[in-house]
Amino acid sequence: MSNVWIALALTVFAGMATGIGSGIAFFAKRTNYRFLSVSTGFSAGVMIYVSFVEILLKGQDALTAAYGDNLGAWVNAASFFGGIAIIGLIDGLIPEAGNPHEPHTEEARAALHEEPSPDSGLGSTVARPHHAARDVEAEEVRHDELLRTGLFAALAIAIHNFPEGLATFLAALQDPSVGAAIAVAVALHNIPEGVSVSVPIYYATGQRSKAFLYSALSGMSEPIGAAIAYFALRLLVGGEGGVMPPQVTGVLFAGVAGIMVYISLDELLPTSRAYGKGHDSLFGLLAGMAVMALSLLLMR
């Protein structure tokens, strides 16, 4: 039972990083985009390496023990691509307008460090004296669009964080040290997501507290999703004492590996390239793989 609490704590830590990203957006005068590039590349390196070297192999071990070498290998491969299909379907259901991985420029974030004035247009639809009525209406439409963009981003991140939370939780449940490495990787990639939620919501409302709240709530879907999935699995397929059979554990691990590889290739690496210059994303990727490899070797 202690592993369950450790796994839940690690998942909460990973999810809270969206709030950290929101705080950085408000209080850091300038964003170190190179750090964001390297850190998201690092996250991808950790996830890709641990997926293929550790989690997928754990799934295969459990499945071959249950079904034999040949059938177990087939079920493992099917579960891996099944995980990719599930996260791909989730990704396809999210409107492009709510893309949480679109980087924001320094100019776009400049107003986050200023107090909104009555005539700034942030969170206010009061027209300046020289504005015509149509300008006021256009400003209101722009605010509505920005708020919708921020809310879509928060919803997109919340939906994405469900499988990420399950991946972190299951890995930590099986091996807390591996789960800790994945939690750090997920937390690093949640930081720029927190920025992506805060920017449009603040521009639309002029309220830091509201922007921070939506950003933090989008991250908390990670532990909530993990807890719901875990208890549902225990209830539906758990054996005596709630212990999951090896067939279920193996399918889950292979599926989680597929989810993490998809997230790395579809989200993290493109984001890393967008924020960085030159080989920043590659350096981050290789550093993440090296750190993960070293940690797994030291834990043997």
Residue 123: the pLDDT is 47
Identify the sign of the CA torsion 236, 237, 240, 244: negative
Residue extents of the structural domains in the chain: 2-298
Q: Which of 157, 266, 169, 255 has its CA nearest to residue 201?
A: 157
Take residue 5 and report the two structure tokens written for it: 């609490």
What's the predicted TM-score (pTM) here? 0.69
Residue 219: the pLDDT is 79
Q: How far apart are CA 275 and CA 195, in angstroms?
A: 13
Contact between 21 and 104 (Cβ < 8 Å): no
Residue reference for tokens 């400003």: 139
By CB atoms closer than 10 A (0-12, 13-18, 19+), residue 117 is exposed
Contact between 173 and 165 (Cβ < 8 Å): no
Along the chain (300 residues), what's the average pLDDT of each consecutive run of 10 residues?
79 82 65 74 87 90 93 96 89 60 49 46 46 52 60 66 76 78 78 70 73 79 80 73 76 88 86 80 91 80
Residue 239: the pLDDT is 62
Helix residue ranges, H only, 175-245: 176-205, 208-237
Identify the sign of the CA torsion 276, 102, 186, 285: negative
Residue reference for tokens 């390239």: 273
Q: 68-92 as b/e, with b when 16 or more CB fall inside 10 Å?
A: eeeebeebbbebbebbbeebeebee
Contact between 56 and 257 (Cβ < 8 Å): yes
Q: How far apart are CA 168 and CA 27, in angstroms?
A: 29
Take residue 223 and report the two structure tokens written for it: 């532990």
Residue 127: the pLDDT is 44
